[in-house]
Structure 1
Amino acid sequence: MKKIDIITAHNISIDYDAATVMNRGVAKFLDLLIIFVYAFISYLIIASVFASTYNWRTGEIPEIVIIMLVIFELPIVFYSVIMEYFLKGQTVGKMAMGIRVVKINGENANFNDYAMRWAFNLVDFWVSGGAVAALFISTTDKGQRLGDILAQTAVVKNNPDQVYSIRDILNIKDRTKHEPTYLGVSKFTDEDMILIKNAITRVKKYPNEPHKELVRELAKKAAEELNLEEVPQKKLTFLKTLLQDYIVLTR
Structure 2
Amino acid sequence: MANLAINTTQNVNLNYKTVSIGERALALLIDIVIFWLYFIVIDFVTGLVGEAFSDRWTVLGVQSLLMLPVFFYSLYMHLLFNGRTVGKMILKIKVVRADGLPPHWSHYMIRWMLRLVDIWLFFAAIGILSILFSDKHQRLGDAAAGTIVISTKQKTKISHTILEEVEDTYEPKFQNVTSLTDKDVRLIKETYRIARRSQDLKTLSLLRTRVEEVLHIKSELYDRQFLDTVLKDYNYFTQKM
TM-score by length of 2: 0.70
Report the secondary structure of 1:230's partner residue: helix
| Cα distance in 2, alignment partners of residues 104 and 216 from structure 1 | 28
How far residue 37 of structure 1 moved from its aligned partner, in angstroms, is: 1.3
In structure 1, what is the equivalent of residue 90 of structure 2?
96
Give the alignment partner of residue 219 of structure 1, picking from 191, 194, 198.
191
Q: Deviation per CA, 1:72-127, whole angstroms, max 9, x where unpaired?
A: 11111000111111111111111122211010111111211111101000000111
Q: Which amino acid aligns with 1:104?
A: A
In structure 2, what is the equivalent of residue 138 of structure 1?
132
In structure 2, what is the equivalent of residue 37 of structure 1?
37
TM-score by length of 1: 0.67
Q: Which amino acid aligns with 1:125?
A: I
Q: Deviation per CA, 1:24-44, whole angstroms, max 9, x where unpaired?
A: 011111111111211221121
In structure 1, what is the equivalent of residue 3 of structure 2?
3
| Cα distance in 2, alignment partners of residues 75 and 111 from structure 1 | 18
- Which one has the largest radius of gyration? 1
| Cα distance in 1, alignment partners of residues 104 and 27 from structure 2 | 21
In structure 2, what is the equivalent of residue 28 of structure 1?
28
Report the secondary structure of 1:129's partner residue: helix
- 8 Å Cα contact 1:12/1:211 also seen in 2: no
* Structure 2 runs not aligned, ≥5 long: 163-179, 212-241
Residue-pair matches, total? 188
Identity %: 26
| Cα distance in 1, alignment partners of residues 36 and 77 from structure 2 | 16
Q: Deviation per CA, 1:38-89, whole angstroms, max 9, x where unpaired?
A: 122112112213423114xxxxx244x3442232111110001111111111
| Cα distance in 1, alignment partners of residues 206 and 135 from structure 2 | 46
In structure 2, what is the equivalent of residue 230 of structure 1?
206
Superposed counterparts of 1:111-190, under 5 Å:
111-160=105-154
Q: Which amino acid aligns with 2:189?
A: E
Q: Which amino acid aligns with 1:226?
A: D
Report the secondary structure of 2:123's partner residue: coil
How far residue 139 of structure 1 moved from its aligned partner, in angstroms, is: 1.3
| Cα distance in 2, alignment partners of residues 51 and 14 from structure 1 | 58
Aligned pair in 2 of structure 1 residues 106, 211: CA closer, same or farther (>3 Å)? farther
Report the secondary structure of 2:83's partner residue: coil
| Cα distance in 2, alignment partners of residues 140 and 54 from structure 1 | 53
